[in-house]
Structure 1
């Protein structure tokens, strides 16, 4: 009987030690709970940082876009300025596009009369400023060689040039004149000074008209 009671007591003790206590099973080690809480805090902070970085990236992208220069519509410059001098033009090659209206501004930076003439290119003259009359002064070349007074090619007057739809511009020393015109055909066309001896001395240039 005593042995039986002893075995029974041992069995109860063992059974009590093995049976989980509901409250103890729900309880966690304080250090474990603290670690879990710290991990949760770290995860929340990491998520918040990632969110802030994404916002910063978006803001930076928007800022970069806002700083990008806006495209300004480019206005094509259709004014061509040409300097005439002894003995040449600057520039001496001028590129045009057929059908566009240009303003050609000729300044005589030389010391004697010069003109600019192109008699083969068909153009529509839309404007012409006041021009100097052809000079009866000696050209630079003529003065150098002691030749008598010469005149520029006859027949180039404003009315006739308007009718022919060709380019012809006269300018005394220091004078600036201008015309507006529309090229009507493509190709390469020589312009020159009609004062005798000037073309021969190299006072020539070229219009290059493209489509």
Structure 2
């Protein structure tokens, strides 16, 4: 009996020892997994550093500050006013969100035009009431007429034309400080409230 109990005791002890060794072995095998989370943040930092390299540098982002977007509609502009700096080059983008032809003119502001995008000619002259009829779908015959489109090569002021849905742009450098008005030169539009302001600092 004693021998039998000693045998069971030895077998039990052996099983406990094997279990402990197996437990230690599994903890040693899992040890590298515990190390992995330490390595992952390093990998994440490396990826974040590479992503930052792909981002534009501040000077490239600041170029977007020089893009002024103005939307024309019946009868106004959004935004109605802008503030610029003298001697700094700007890209002025005019989008006509209205249903009829509009322009943006600032004749009293002295600027140096550095780029003039392609723009349509003004349509035949028509009165403001004729344009309202056009919006309402009433057809009328219009007399043809000429219009000085203000796009001469020596131009030193802003004048942009856009058909309905069209986007046009110019680049220019303001040559003086002060407050100036811009407006739509199509007959009747300025009088109907289609004007805004440019402040040059």
Shorter-chain TM band: 0.5 to 0.7
SS for the counterpart of 2:176 is coil
Gaps of 5+ in 2: 1-44, 46-51
Rg: which structure is higher? 1
Q: Which residue number in structure 1 is paired with residue 147 of structure 2? A: 154
Deviations 1:101-157 (CA, angstroms, capped at 9, x unpaired)? 000000111111000001011100000110011012646643447997488983233
- TM-score where L is the length of structure 1: 0.59
- TM-score where L is the length of structure 2: 0.61
State how 1:1-211 maps to structure 2 within 5 Å: 73=58, 75-76=61-62, 77=64, 78-136=66-124, 138=126, 141-144=129-132, 149=142, 154-159=147-152, 162-210=153-201
The alpha-carbon deviation at position 73 of structure 1 amounts to: 3.4
* Distance change (3 Å), C-alpha of 1:111 and 1:150: farther
Contact kept in structure 1, 2:69 and 2:92, CA below 8 Å: yes
Q: Distance in 2 between matches of 1:152 and 1:91?
A: 31
Aligned length: 140
Contact kept in structure 2, 1:88 and 1:204, CA below 8 Å: yes
* Distance change (3 Å), C-alpha of 1:137 and 1:113: farther
Q: What RMSD, in angstroms, separates the aligned Cα atoms of the two structures?
A: 2.9
SS for the counterpart of 1:130 is coil
